[in-house]
Structure 1
């Protein structure tokens, strides 16, 4: 499947007529031309005809009209027009030579996802876990073409979701790994995800809710430090987005997005029906069922808490996208994949009570204690 994906990707054309593609490629062009000063996406810097040439290549009407350029908005003070997408996708595209950027980005992202799938297979020790790893690994590689091809921002997002899922599962499935550095690693990875898609900031919403509620229920210095560590690491990870906002809009907390992207939440039956008829709906059903089963059958308290974390994060993300005024085939894919990778690695890392018995700090009795009891 990986070889088939790479072969298919190798024939892709960067001028496929999608407006957002042009903007991501322009951000990459700015980074290659100006270095980190490429964060400034003002149209005033468009003095080499790059954007106009890209728009002409897709037959964009009025390609030479600055007021009609796609995914660019005017700042609040009216001083300039800047790009709306965050800088992360453009940055990773800038790592490859101009004109041959999308193919290597998607090929490497596919290899990375296949690597996570193979790692899950290598960790699996029981037939059931092995079957889960094989099935989900195949599905995740398939998703790297459809729906990931719909937006360049989705390729790095899928890799980040797999990494965050693995780190989250290790954090809660193995009590011995629950320390501040591991919590910080999850936070910084989720923070960096917002650099690819600004909506990815929601992937951390459930984590903030979990750490906050857990501290209120069990007030201790350790729980407070975990939440603080996650928050500071997330802030560090999202720093590129805040910097880009500051450069382009003059305020780190104000993005360049406008129109429907910043509309207040509302229920739209047409949007809800679109999600129900899309492949995203059965994915969410699978996540809900798997989370419920994991919480019900888990013998370790850490795994039960992990299930609650996944459930809360999923609920917050679904509440946002269900009230978003626009439907897109990949909007719910990031939270679905983050949840599924987390659940998969949680099952693999805790295949049975026997393995948990060996884990330092586990809630159940150790094998040695059980053997002593049997001898008595």
Structure 2
């Protein structure tokens, strides 16, 4: 089995090396409006520090964004009212529509060489967790499963993650949050600090993409519904800790919205981007023909499989994921716009959670194995 683990580990590393080689040749001027707007946010952070949260078009007094517009031959580069990714707010100012997280991460790297290091750093995190899963696998089938999923996760850091700079850090956060969720559920006593950390990570992911706020839905359902039934103080504290973590993680976005839109709860997106739910067969059909549909099938299939597992922590992980998948897929399948990455975050968070839930053993099981006995029933173990 060690040889199989080594083979899959080398496959993941080979894909990582191939990705890094491909990334090293990427251009930051590929003509995509979103790219240039994220780079403008990064430029503002590098110029003004925390003051870069203010994305008013008037702050382009050094003509940075104008220069980027000219590079891609944008005809209205002189007129801020025509700039892409900018929307008018009260008082007539024009601001970036995106939350500040992606720009902040890009600002950590030197101008002109920001995108490639961001993607490499995110890929290293994903690959590290993929290798960890392979190491944790204890049976031949689990080694194969962890190896195939790890290779897929590393590959996805190029396609479809390249479609938007916000996807790369989101993928890394989903991998870490999925691992921590599995660890949290495998403990006999679930740590309040750990669920707060999971909430913090998911809240921080909102700073990359606002729809990432939906990634926390399944956790709120998992913690909220049992509290309504039992009125348990422990469940209430865990739910409160998770909610507080999510809120703290979102602080940069809330601050940016307060500065740019006049209220922490006001969006900087235009009316064309804020639309009510509707069901469009054409949009649904696009998902069926896209790689995202494969990820959806994998996530749904793995959830159904673990719902029938003997181990309690696996069933609990499947319950968290089931609620999260239902909520998120329900939203995006009724969203009248399709992109190649919309449901990738929720499917990857789900698959990372389920993968590690299947690989980790609860503490009581490990103790029983260490003394050479197998408990007759995991349901009989103390909670």
- Match of residue 302 from structure 1: 313
How do 1:35-54 and structure 2 match up within 5 A? 35-54=49-68
Q: 2:355 aligns with which of 338, 344, 351?
A: 344
Aligned residues of 2:187 and 2:363 also touching (Cα < 8 A): no
1:199 to 211, 217, 226: 211
Unpaired runs of 5+ in structure 2? 1-14
Aligned residue number for residue 222 of structure 1: 234
More displaced 10-residue stretch of structure 1: 26-35 or 269-278:
269-278
Q: Does 1:142 align with 2:155?
A: yes
Q: CA deviation at 1:154?
A: 0.6
2:314 touches 2:354 (CA, 8 Å); kept in 1? no
> Would you say 1:323 and 2:334 are equivalent positions?
yes
How far apart, in 1, do the equivalents of 2:317 and 2:226 lie?
Answer: 12
Task: State the shift of 1:260 in Å.
Answer: 3.3
1:23 counterpart (37, 47, 53): 37
What are the equivalent positions in structure 2 for 1:54-65 lying under 5 Å apart?
54-65=68-79
- Deviation of the 1:136 alpha carbon: 0.5
Preserved CA contact (<8 Å) 1:358 1:366: no
From 61, 69, 73, the counterpart of 2:87 = 73
Deviation at 1:179, TM superposition (A): 1.4
Q: Which residue does the alignment assign to 1:249?
A: 261
Instruction: Give the structure-1-normalised TM-score.
Output: 0.93
Shift of 1:354: 4.9
Aligned to 1:234: 246
Within the candidate set 222, 229, 249, 1:210 is matched to 222
Instruction: Give, in angstroms, the shift of residue 365 of structure 1.
Output: 5.1
User: What's the offset of the Cα at 1:355?
Assistant: 3.8
In structure 1, the gaps of 5 or more residues are: 371-376
Let me know the Cα RMSD of the aligned residues. 2.1
Show the counterpart of 2:104. Answer: 91
The equivalent of 1:334 in structure 2 is 345
Structure 1 distance, partners of 2:307, 2:364, is: 15
Q: How many residues align?
A: 363
SS at match of 1:183: helix
Task: State the match for 1:374 in structure 2.
Answer: none
Shift of 1:193: 0.4
My pick for the range that moved more, 299-308 or 322-331, is: 299-308
Q: C-alpha displacement at 1:155, in angstroms?
A: 0.7
Q: Distance in 2 between matches of 1:282 and 1:187?
A: 27
Give the one of 198, 211, 224 matched to 1:186.
198
Counterparts of 2:42 and 2:151, CA distance in 1: 31
SS across alignment from 1:155: helix
Relative to structure 1, is the Cα distance of residues 191 and 269 closer, same or farther in structure 2, using a 3 angstrom cutoff? same
Using the TM superposition, name which of 240-249 and 260-269 deviates more.
Answer: 260-269
Please say if residues 109 and 156 of structure 1, whose CA atoms lie closer than 8 Å, have aligned partners that are also in contact.
yes
User: Residue 73 of structure 1: SS of its match in structure 2?
Assistant: strand
- Which digits, 9 at most, give the CA deviation of each residue in 1:47-72, with x for residues without a partner? 01000100111112211111110110
**Per the alignment, in what secondary structure is the counterpart of residue 262 of structure 1?**
coil
Q: Is the 8 A contact 1:175 1:302 kept in 2?
A: no
Asked if 1:12 corresponds to 2:26, the answer is yes
Alpha-carbon distance between aligned partners in 2 of 1:171 and 1:358, rounded to the nearest angstrom: 20
Q: Tell me by how many angstroms 1:175 deviates.
A: 2.2
CA distance in 2, matches of 1:113, 1:124: 17
Partner SS, residue 261 of structure 1: coil
Report if the CA contact (8 A) 2:313-2:357 is conserved. Answer: no
Partner of 2:127: 114
For residues 210 and 367 of structure 2, the distance between their equivalents in structure 1, rounded to whole angstroms, comes to: 38
Aligned equivalents of 1:36, 1:149: Cα separation in 2 = 27
The equivalent of 1:373 in structure 2 is none
